Amino acid sequence: MTPASTLTYHPGSRSSAEQASSMDPQLTKSQQKTICSQLGRVKLQLLYKASIHGFTGAAFHQRCDTRGPTVSVGYNASGFVFGGYTKQPFSQSGQYVNDDQAFLFTFNGEKLLKYPVTGPANAVRMIGNSGPYFGEALVLVNGSQPVVYTCPGNYYNFNAAEMHGNNLNLTECEVYHVEEIPEFEKPWRPVVWENETRTELMESIKSYKPTVSSVSQIRVLLIGPVGAGKSSFFNSINSVFRGHVTSQAISGSSTTSLTTQFRTYSVKAGRGGKPLPLILCDTMGLEEGTGAGLDVDDVISILKGHLPNRYQFNPSAPLHSESHGYCGTPGVKDKIHCVAYVIDACKVSIMPTKLEEKLEAIRRKVNLMGVPQLVLMTKVDEACPFVPQDIRNVYMSGYIKEMMQEVSTRLGVPLSCVVPVKNYSEELELDPNCDILLLSAVQQMLRFADNYFDEISDQLSNTEAREQ
């Protein structure tokens, strides 16, 4: 094979410490997660980086032989990110190997374009003086040079201009080992899955009393992206205490928020029962764009207790003191006592940057106001195939734990403040184990509200002491 162009690579004389410090993936977290989403409950471990180990077949094989399955990625100066996946371990046998799951890919922005193998018997070839060698269609580090060989139609069909823009000079080549995320032998967060647990949680919530006498119900603000499940969470809690699945709050699937008003929902202990000591405050969904979705300034007004129930959100014009229904002198009972961020477990890894920045801006404001915060991670049954088999597997799933750790890092909250839940969405009957997860989340909200009231009491005590 003769590549379109050749470029000589000089590895230089960097020390091993310098090389180790540069061994960071060029593939972004979002790109890694997008690839992993094609492969199951897996993560990527970087094995080979050509700019460090050398643009040679020998360096590639030294690092990657026998390490399957793998994802190989090429980068060029035109900004293209492309490569291939194979479940077969690399070797230097010179033979073709069969792989019916192999595919080539390229990124179009954040979107992955995938080209499945058309000739499985010739999916990958094991050549000693080259890097990853997919059929006769795509070779990265061809002939121990930092170049690409490409020939669409030879066991893979793709458009070369779409794949790499016809720029055959490599600026980088990486190979990642695809590692399965194992399930735990025992739950990493213990839960007693018994009907008695469900009953005890319900009774504990019913009998809760805020420590501040002027407050009869704690107010929890639900904040999250469109479609994450804020309204569904209220419906699910309401269902648990009603004894059957209900749907009071508007919920469903949409690209824009179905909630357009600020709503405060009080949950009742059964049909015609007394209100629970809990009010869930539902908001318009967060959206990426400026002037769309919930406005950060409206969040501040809600936290301070200025927003009236059924206030109609206007993303382009936040609430001001002259607005109809504005509460000018809110008491402690009108303020928010806990904030719960509602995050879809399926979308943690592909959360858009602008949305993450909005959440960060809100989190900073909430921190300044001293309001406790937790994260409800919804749709755990959709994120991990191990969980819908039995919801009790949620704390035995390595994948769910990784998602919880990631959302903890992204939102800047401790892992102990991340609570997985499954809302009722398609079910007609209640599941006691789902109820336990939902009720445990409410219990955490009550505990966090207690922390808020403790701070209020301390502040009042300090003020009184200074006045004396």
Q: What local confidence, expressed as pLDDT, does residue 310 receive?
A: 58
Q: What local confidence, expressed as pLDDT, does residue 12 receive?
A: 37
Which pLDDT tens digit goes with each residue over 318-362? 555 666 666 778 889 989 999 999 999 988 877 888 888 888 988
Of 58-62, 408-412, 433-437, the poorest mean pLDDT is in 408-412
Q: What local confidence, expressed as pLDDT, does residue 450 receive?
A: 94
Which pLDDT tens digit goes with each residue over 417-435? 999 999 998 888 999 999 9
Q: What local confidence, expressed as pLDDT, does residue 233 receive?
A: 94
> Could you give the angle at which helices 230-242 and 432-467 cross, rounded to 10 degrees?
110
Q: What local confidence, expressed as pLDDT, does residue 383 receive?
A: 87
User: In terms of pLDDT, which residue wins out, 68 or 69?
Assistant: 69
**Is 7 a residue whose pLDDT tops 60?**
no
**Mean pLDDT over all residues of the chain?**
85
Of 70-79, 136-145, 178-187, 208-217, the poorest mean pLDDT is in 178-187
Q: What local confidence, expressed as pLDDT, does residue 260 receive?
A: 57
**Is 146 a residue whose pLDDT tops 50?**
yes
User: In terms of pLDDT, which residue wins out, 427 or 310?
Assistant: 427
**Is 463 a residue whose pLDDT tops 60?**
no
User: pLDDT category, 11, cuts 50, 70, 90?
Assistant: very low
Which pLDDT tens digit goes with each residue over 358-389? 889 889 999 999 999 999 999 999 988 889 88
Which pLDDT tens digit goes with each residue over 152-191? 999 999 999 999 999 999 999 999 999 988 888 889 999 9
* Rounded average pLDDT over 8-24: 44
Q: What local confidence, expressed as pLDDT, does residue 79 receive?
A: 95
User: In terms of pLDDT, which residue wins out, 29 or 314?
Assistant: 29
Q: What local confidence, expressed as pLDDT, does residue 298 receive?
A: 78
Supply the pTM of this predicted model.
0.69
Which pLDDT tens digit goes with each residue over 234-285? 999 999 999 998 876 554 444 444 445 677 888 888 887 889 999 998 887 7
Domains delineated in the chain: 24-180 (no CATH), 195-467 (3.40.50.300)
* Omega before residue 132 within 30° of 0, cis: no
Q: What local confidence, expressed as pLDDT, does residue 456 receive?
A: 82
* Rounded average pLDDT over 398-413: 92
**Is 45 a residue whose pLDDT tops 90?**
yes
